[in-house]
Structure 1
């Protein structure tokens, strides 16, 4: 029996993840009292039960009983339940924005600031995060990307290493994205902007891609970049990093950066040990 404990920060997408897992055939229960986890697992695993996949939501709403989590997990392990912990994470900035957009109150903020509630929640959930089987950072994830990641790790059972990579194209004229971990400047490549018929197209168009990649220097750069990332990514995973944003910039963020971001995404997306997403920040400007 698969037994998944879905937990993490309020606003990071636990409810959405549980709904997705339910659609994938999991029997889902949200906000089950922690003390009942072993008994629930026993009933689900009892002879004659037709439940083969279980997902249980555990979060800050469990209050003081979170302090019992270590002993409850030990009881699960002793009873032969091979549980997994899925921890959903997001940056403080994203969580604050989500709360402001939905006008919901953070469960620990009460009448205070959302930031204070988030800080306190991180402290109370630290044990679960440190013992998580999978950590998914949803800061930049679209709903379909979250679904794909869940399918990879909990349905297809791929060797997912808790790292979500965002390949992000942008234009330097609009500023470097604040969340980039690595930034690469491709303004040295021939510019399609000055070619008749390509100015108003983008790196998502085949004609622009053909123009940019028709130069040997473009292939040399891409090969060297992929080679470097193949070295860096496993080391980032070992270090415990769960979010990596790779920025590819050109002047306006429409042609060269979009083309190279698309090519880099293709080179990385066939790997199953981490998630990869693609975003073009300035392509429509």
Structure 2
């Protein structure tokens, strides 16, 4: 069972920690355990409770009425709401509940319904990525365990690959090589970028995780791609990012290089003339117009 701080509950539910403490005292809402240093911590059942409360409260129900319900009735009310069109925020809460319970059926049902209604791209941008950002913060604070993180990553990865496989193979745009540096394993963003490029008619070759530059260089000289796209989230080591960026620019001078990820976004990194940092996925949407690519590419 995972362990959560009150700030984790705030992050997941959108309800301020101060408010949670007031509810805890006024309504005897939780019975948190305490560490040896007297710091409160919460469990999976507490997370499910606060997410259900947040969903009902977002739909106009008063907190006094919510906390008077038995837990089973509260869950039934949330389930009834799920039959209607849920807001993005409610869907993110529902995905989090599915993650806590490791319930693949509910998780897939929520995503499939959103994809059917809004299309895969909008589902990714409006629900899946905000959800993954929340989970990413919990991962960094050790609030969720590796099994939960792998469970979610695997399901989202499957959705992206399935959506990409359904695209037409008749792409005649510039060729992109997509890869992650050695030691970099977080490929969901790059997989989605591959989907975006292919959906707009560009050719792509997806190399995925932990690719040595020497191996990439061999392919580069053979295929002569127009562009290279990579992401740096946990690799290289912060002290080696500038050196890696310089090597990347020098090895592939004759094509446009796009980089993203927390190792470079918002960092004091000098980029060569043929390289551009993408701060967010919306930047890629702009770049996938042929006019923009031709302006930047050599």
TM-score band w.r.t. shorter chain:
under 0.3
* Structure number having the greater strand percentage: 1
Q: Scaled by the length of structure 2, what TM-score is found?
A: 0.27
Q: Scaled by the length of structure 1, what TM-score is found?
A: 0.28
* Relative contact order, higher structure (CA 8 A, sep 6+): 1
